[in-house]
């Protein structure tokens, strides 16, 4: 079983469209995250979410919104896609105690044309 | 927020040689220091981590050393092999949620 699974793996879409990326973890972790990796390989936190709290990186445009139906799922919805949104998006999960490693999903390569 | 600086950005070594990657951080409250390896087209994977109550940890050919006073920690890979070629990231917990802030990455190339 894949511990953290993301779908889709590839996503090509036109500017202005709305899209969603799904993430599920079966590790029983309390906290899930979304990271954006740009073409220079920088891994930048976008959101962290547990049952109690959503932490939003202040640099993330409000076109991006996380949605969590339960603690095993954290989806990412993006409105009005722009060319600069093209990147690889990684979901991850952890115990959320600040002393545990993350398990990453396989990533979603988003290309906006 | 946490400031994590990683050096060098690229590193080429001959197979069998050692490689060292260093990270410095700013938050003195940080007490957990992981390293991740990301192969081309793959996800980052945790390869080793250290907590602040120890100064060094080894796992076969990889080791991490920590200097809390100077606020830096390093990844050491000995007897490098071509399959060690990847991007390596350090990370440090930051913010109220202690989420990981990653360094900028080091592209390691092991030449056969």
By Cβ distance, the residue of A41, A97, A98 closest to B87 is: A41
Cis peptide before B43 (omega within 30 of 0): no
* Bridge partners (DSSP) listed for residue B64: B57, B75
By Cβ distance, the residue of B93, B104, B107 closest to A98 is: B93
Nearest CA in chain A to B33: A99
CB-based contact A104:A29 (threshold 8 Å): no
Q: In what order do the strands lie in the sheet with A73-78?
A: A4-7, A19-25, A73-78, A64-70
pLDDT tens for A42-53 read 999 999 998 767
pLDDT tens for A80-103 read 999 999 999 999 999 988 888 999
CB-based contact B21:B72 (threshold 8 Å): no
B102–A53 CB contact, under 8 Å = no
Instruction: Burial-class residue A73 by CB neighbours within 10 Å (0-12, 13-18, 19+).
Output: middle
Q: Residue-wise over A44-72: b if at least 16 C-beta within 10 A, else e?
A: ebbbbbbeeeebebeebeeebbbebeebe
B-proximal residues of A, 51-90, CB under 8 Å: 53, 55, 90
pLDDT tens for B19-77 read 999 999 998 888 899 999 999 999 999 999 999 888 999 999 999 999 999 999 999 99
By Cβ distance, the residue of A42, A55, A105 closest to B97 is: A55
pLDDT tens for A14-68 read 999 999 999 999 999 999 999 999 999 999 999 999 876 788 787 899 999 999 8
């Amino acid at each position: 079983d894949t511990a953290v699974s993301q779908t889709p793996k590839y996503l090509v879409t036109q500017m202005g469209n709305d899209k969603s990326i799904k993430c599920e973890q079966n590790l029983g972790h309390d906290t899930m995250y979304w990271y954006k990796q740009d073409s220079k390989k920088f891994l930048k936190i976008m959101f962290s979410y547990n049952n109690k709290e959503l932490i939003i990186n202040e640099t993330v445009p409000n076109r991006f919104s996380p949605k969590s139906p339960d603690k095993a799922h954290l989806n990412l919805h993006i409105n009005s896609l722009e060319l600069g949104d093209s990147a690889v998006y990684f979901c991850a999960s952890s115990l959320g105690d600040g002393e545990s490693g993350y398990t990453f999903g396989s990533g979603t390569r988003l290309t906006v044309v | 927020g946490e400031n994590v600086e990683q050096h060098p950005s690229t590193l080429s070594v001959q197979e069998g040689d050692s490689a060292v990657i260093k990270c410095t951080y700013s938050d003195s409250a940080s007490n957990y220091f992981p390293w991740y390896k990301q192969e081309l087209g793959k996800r980052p994977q945790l390869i080793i981590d250290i907590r602040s109550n120890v100064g060094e940890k080894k796992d076969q050919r990889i080791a991490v050393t920590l200097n809390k006073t100077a606020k830096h920690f390093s990844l050491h890979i000995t007897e490098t092999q071509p399959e060690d070629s990847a991007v390596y990231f350090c990370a440090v917990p930051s913010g109220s949620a202690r989420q990981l802030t990653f360094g900028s990455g080091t592209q390691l190339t092991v030449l056969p």
